[in-house]
């Protein structure tokens, strides 16, 4: 595996950086009503993860210090957007310095290694081969590209009403415009299992599309492998939107039988918006899932383009791109890559199991206490994601109280109070929320 070199290449004197922005008494740079606080990342080296996240018992009190977002309010809306930590912020600052002062160096082959490193780190997180990972811009764009590249002639697509709403929109558009047959399985008490797919997936099914962790109620699909087996037995493949899962719950694409998946990095991967990953099982690349836009270059084998014409080769030498790079066009977001390298490092070091256990302690307390306050949950009992959702009898009033107490959560689909704590939240945050709502 190529060694990670971006960090080394982009290493610069942080003191020089801080001096450049802190001169003339400027303590912060305005960004609307927000401000840039370089002191929060001063002395942070994103290549070196802190000791408090290592080992079997990470120090979650210290982890709070890695996320300055905690200073503003009790933020428990990570399922919308997760804040980045100071290591990822330091990596971004370093990138900004490189882009400002050193762009052009390193030349692109070095960035190529960096990109491979980033993919390898993500591949490790989901137990894929790095050769199965492409950069994507967003989850929904990747899913659209996948569908565009598949042959649905006479076939159908099976999904559920807990799949992401923008995906269902894409399916309905394809139904209306192209005659794609779309079968939407309704959830059963806010969950579903493989039995719900029996008799719906048939020999004409080409794709089964599900969301691993629902953004609506946090439901984690437990039967992924069984659904995959059923899809495969009928000649279909399984696509999984795992944006609300990766980084928060263990994902093993091989064990789960996932054929294609996509996510971007601004939720539980604690990275940036508009940058993400697509997983495509090796044997499906450009066979079942064809490229819909093309990425590569050609060489001219005639004068004056070359002074060394090879008579054994055609005038225009063209070789199709192979591997997951075939799904990418142009440069990826280097800001996205810089963020992802650092945040994935943090997640690997901390460990997804530790992350999941911590978050479950918080959601379990909510599951236990909220019904006593009149909030019934629509998240299945014992669910293993960091997202828990309750029905609010008076949504406006609930949000007013929470906002006044500087507790940031989400109210979605009218009356669904979504609370999604993360690693920097603690039981005191949960107690405060319970106190405000009681």
Ligand X SMILES: Cc1ncc(COP(=O)(O)O)c(C=O)c1O
Part of the chain binding ligand X (CB under 6 A), chosen from 93-101, 124-132, 134-142, 335-343: 134-142
Which of 264, 377, 379, 383 forms a contact with ligand X (CB under 6 A)?
Answer: 264
Number of residues in contact with ligand X under rule CB under 6 A? 11
Q: Are the CB atoms for 248 and 355 separated by under 8 Å?
A: yes
How far is residue 79 from each of residues 70, 93, 207, 229, measured CA to CA in Å? 16, 25, 26, 29
**What mask, x for binding ligand X by CB under 6 A, covers residues 98 to 127?**
------------------------------
Tell me how long the chain is: 438
Residue 252 tokens, joined = 């093993």
Residue span binding ligand X (CB under 6 A) among the ranges 137-145, 187-195, 253-261, 300-308: 137-145
**CB of residue 15 vs ligand X: minimum separation in angstroms?**
36
CB atoms closer than 10 angstroms to residue 48: 10
Q: Which residue has the tokens 């920097």?
A: 424
Site residues for ligand X, window 285-304 (CB under 6 A)?
none
**Smallest separation, CB 258 to ligand X (Å):** 15
Angle 390-170-142 from CA coordinates, rounded to 5°: 90
Task: Out of 41, 85, 121, 139, point to the residue binding ligand X (CB under 6 A).
Answer: 139
Estimate to the nearest angstrom the gap between the alpha carbon of 317 and the chain centroid: 38
Give the 3-state secondary structure of residue 56.
coil
Sole window of 52-60, 136-144, 152-160, 394-402 interacting with ligand X (rule: CB under 6 A) = 136-144
Binding to ligand X by CB under 6 A, coded x per residue (else -) over 185-214, reads: --------------------------x---
Q: Of these, 138, 217, 291, 343, which contacts ligand X (CB under 6 A)? A: 138
| Closest C-alpha among 99, 3, 85, 4 to residue 44 | 85
| x/- map, 229-258, ligand X, by CB under 6 A | ------------x-xx--------------
Tokens of 111: 């960035």
Task: Give yes or no for a contact between 220 and 212, defined as CB atoms under 8 angstroms apart.
Answer: yes
78 touches ligand X (CB under 6 A): no
With binding defined as CB under 6 A, does residue 215 bind ligand X?
A: yes
Distance CA 321, CA 277 (A): 18
- The CB density around residue 323, as the number of other CB atoms within 10 Å, is 16
- The minimum distance between CB 141 and ligand X, in angstroms, equals 6
Asked if the peptide bond before residue 172 counts as cis, ω within 30 degrees of 0, the response is: no
* Residue the block writes with tokens 């263990």: 250
Q: Does 422 bind ligand X (CB under 6 A)?
A: no
Q: Is 164 in the site for ligand X (CB under 6 A)?
A: yes
Smaller CB separation from ligand X, 7 or 241: 241
Q: Is 130 in the site for ligand X (CB under 6 A)?
A: no
Binding site for ligand X (CB under 6 A): 138-140, 164, 211, 215, 241, 243-244, 264, 276
């Amino acid at each position: 595996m190529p060694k990670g070199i971006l960090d080394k290449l982009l290493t610069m004197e942080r003191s020089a950086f801080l001096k450049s922005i802190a001169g003339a008494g400027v303590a912060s740079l305005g960004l609307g009503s927000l401000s840039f606080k370089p002191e929060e990342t001063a002395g942070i080296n994103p290549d070196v993860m802190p000791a408090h996240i290592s080992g079997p018992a990470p120090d979650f009190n210290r982890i709070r210090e890695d996320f300055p977002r905690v200073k503003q309010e009790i933020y428990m809306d990570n399922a919308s957007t997760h804040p980045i930590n100071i290591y990822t912020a330091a990596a971004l600052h370093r990138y900004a310095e490189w882009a400002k002062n050193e762009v052009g160096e390193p030349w692109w082959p070095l960035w190529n290694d960096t990109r491979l490193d980033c993919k390898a780190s993500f591949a490790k997180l989901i137990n894929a081969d790095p050769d199965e990972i492409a950069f994507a811009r967003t989850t929904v764009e990747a899913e659209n590209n996948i569908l565009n590249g598949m042959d649905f002639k006479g076939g159908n697509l099976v999904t559920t009403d807990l799949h992401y709403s923008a995906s269902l929109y894409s399916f309905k558009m394809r139904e209306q415009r192209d005659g794609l047959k779309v079968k939407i399985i309704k959830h059963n008490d806010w969950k579903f299992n493989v039995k719900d797919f029996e008799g719906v997936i048939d020999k004409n099914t080409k794709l089964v599309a599900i969301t691993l962790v629902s953004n609506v109620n946090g439901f984690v699909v437990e039967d992924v492998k069984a659904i995959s087996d059923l899809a495969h037995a009928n000649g279909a493949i399984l696509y999984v939107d795992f944006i609300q899962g990766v980084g928060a719950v263990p994902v093993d694409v091989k064990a789960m039988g996932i054929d294609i998946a996509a996510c971007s990095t601004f939720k539980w991967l604690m990275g940036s918006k508009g940058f993400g990953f697509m997983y495509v099982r090796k044997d499906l690349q450009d066979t079942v899932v064809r490229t819909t836009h093309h990425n590569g270059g050609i060489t001219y084998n005639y004068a004056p383009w070359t002074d060394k014409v090879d008579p054994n080769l055609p005038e225009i030498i063209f070789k199709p791109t192979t591997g997951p790079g075939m799904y990418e066009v142009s440069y990826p977001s280097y800001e996205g890559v810089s963020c992802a390298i650092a945040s994935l490092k943090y997640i690997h070091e901390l460990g997804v199991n530790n992350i999941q256990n911590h978050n479950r302690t918080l959601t379990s307390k909510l599951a236990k206490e909220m019904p006593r306050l009149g909030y019934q949950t629509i998240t299945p009992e014992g669910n293993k994601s960091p997202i828990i959702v309750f029905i609010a009898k008076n949504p406006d009033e609930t949000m007013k109280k929470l906002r006044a107490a500087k507790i940031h959560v989400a109210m979605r689909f009218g009356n669904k109070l979504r609370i999604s704590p993360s690693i920097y939240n603690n039981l005191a945050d949960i107690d405060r929320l319970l106190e405000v709502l009681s």
